[in-house]
Structure 1
Amino acid sequence: MRFVPKFLLSAMAPAHFPGTAKTYDAPEVAFLGRSNVGKSSLINALLGSKEAKVSSTPGRTRAINFFALHEGTTQKFSQRPSLIFADLPGYGYAKISKSISAEWPTFIEPYLNERDQLALCVCLVDTNIPPQANDTQLITALRQMQRPHVVVGTKADRLGGNQLTKSIAALKKAHGEDRIIPVSSKTEDGMKALWAEIVSLVQ
């Protein structure tokens, strides 16, 4: 399946979220994780483009950035997108508060709690560091909201086979997950598995 990505808008309040017009009416996939975990890089690797802006400065993304995915080619694609990706601000860098809901701007919680179009949350965790409590908090919150989610372990190319296996096992145990998909935006390992997961869960 081939998609043509198109930047839609940046939102910093619920009133700014995409509406329900034909050009916006599609299932949304949200990407969440700690600052500098590689959300924008992962989105670009999935799309085969550079639509999502990548910054080496943690906490640079301060809005929800929405991208429409149209099936087809740049010459011709349907007006209605097949999917919409939402790149959410990171957490854990500017320690404003102990809780995720207070740490993020107030528009994040309404998006996760109330957004009817939100079909799947992709939670990114770093395979190169020990499991983080605020990642566990996010994943637990999504379970409580009954939001479908999948957890991916980023930067997997930096670890050897045995190291990666141990890291994934530790992340599974800490976050209470049966499956975590190791991915690398650099080598594109895991992208096919993640795409398959996104398509199956959204459908």
Structure 2
Amino acid sequence: MEIKQSEFTISAVKPDQYPIDQRLEIAFVGRSNVGKSSLINTLTNRRKLVKVSGTPGKTRLINFFLINNEFYFVDLPGYGYAKVSKSEKAGWGKMMEQYLINRPQLKKVMLLVDSRHKPTGDDVLMYNWIKHYGYGVVIVATKKDKLTKNELQRSAKVIRETLSLDKSEQILFFSSLKKEGKEELLQEIFKDISMEENLEDNTEV
């Protein structure tokens, strides 16, 4: 799949603000400083499609981006930022749960983890949450360019053990800086997903 067109569509905090045109959705989630915005920009060949903030935890909305006029990339709020208040964390949890519950358009979730560090408790919770709601999940280890080949092997072992991944679940290493892993990730994103699943009514939001 080649991404030729991408555009911001809408930001949402509750279900009645989500797109209603029934296009399929692929969501991206991870810690606040994991490089999620840069990854989406790299995949779409757009340097500024998703604003890259210098302040971790700034994104509080669910952002929908229309890709090739066929489906959506969904940028979910980053989690795990220490300076976020308890009430904000609670609000984030509710917003995320509302999105994950009964969202038939959502076909797959890309869970981003930092390849340089052991997945956090929040990462484990997010992984289990995605699996609990029955969505396909792809583990993407970002910032690949920061590690040597041996360090990448150790990182894969730590990630696999910490998240208790099945043998069938692979880890894709990615570098937004060097655009390494881009083609492999795009292939995995659209694996087993047919755009023909989109319903006929693809009315613009």
Task: Output the CA distance in 2 between the equivalents of 1:185 and 1:192.
Answer: 12
Find the counterpart in structure 2 of residue 59 from structure 1: 57
Poorly superposed stretches of 4+, deviation over 3 Å: 94-97
Find the counterpart in structure 1 of residue 178 from structure 2: 187
Q: Is the 8 A contact 1:120 1:201 kept in 2?
A: no
Q: Is the 8 A contact 1:95 1:103 kept in 2?
A: no
2:135 equivalent among 136, 139, 147: 147
Find the counterpart in structure 1 of residue 145 from structure 2: 157
* Higher RCO (CA < 8 A, seq sep 6+): 2
Per-residue CA deviations over 1:84-129 (Å, capped at 9, x if unaligned) read: 00101011104545xx7x3615222111122121111000000111
Find the counterpart in structure 2 of residue 44 from structure 1: 41
Give identity over the alignment, percent.
38
Return the offset for 1:187: 0.6
Structure 1 residues 141, 2: closer, same or farther in 2, change over 3 A?
closer
Paired residue secondary structure (1:57): coil
The amino acid across from 2:114 in the alignment is: D
Structure 1 residues 95, 60: closer, same or farther in 2, change over 3 A?
closer
Q: Aligned runs of 1:16-55 on 2, under 5 Å?
A: 16-20=17-21, 25-49=22-46, 50-55=48-53
Return the offset for 1:190: 0.7
Task: Output the CA distance in 2 between the equivalents of 1:36 and 1:202.
Answer: 29
Q: Aligned runs of 1:117-128 on 2, under 5 Å?
A: 117-128=105-116
TM-score, L = length of structure 1: 0.87
Task: Output the CA distance in 2 between the equivalents of 1:183 and 1:103.
Answer: 30
Task: Output the CA distance in 2 between the equivalents of 1:44 and 1:146.
Answer: 27
Return the offset for 1:133: 1.2
Task: Output the CA distance in 2 between the equivalents of 1:130 and 1:107.
Answer: 26
Paired residue secondary structure (1:202): coil
Paired residue secondary structure (2:190): helix
The amino acid across from 2:62 in the alignment is: I
User: What stretches of structure 2 of length at least 5 have no aligned partner?
Assistant: 195-205
Find the counterpart in structure 2 of residue 10 from structure 1: 11
Task: Output the CA distance in 2 between the equivalents of 1:107 and 1:58.
Answer: 18
Q: Is the 8 A contact 1:30 1:122 kept in 2?
A: yes
Task: Output the CA distance in 2 between the equivalents of 1:175 and 1:142.
Answer: 12
Counterpart check, 1:202 vs 2:193: yes
Per-residue CA deviations over 1:40-89 (Å, capped at 9, x if unaligned) read: 1100000000211111210111101110011xxxxxxxxxx222001010
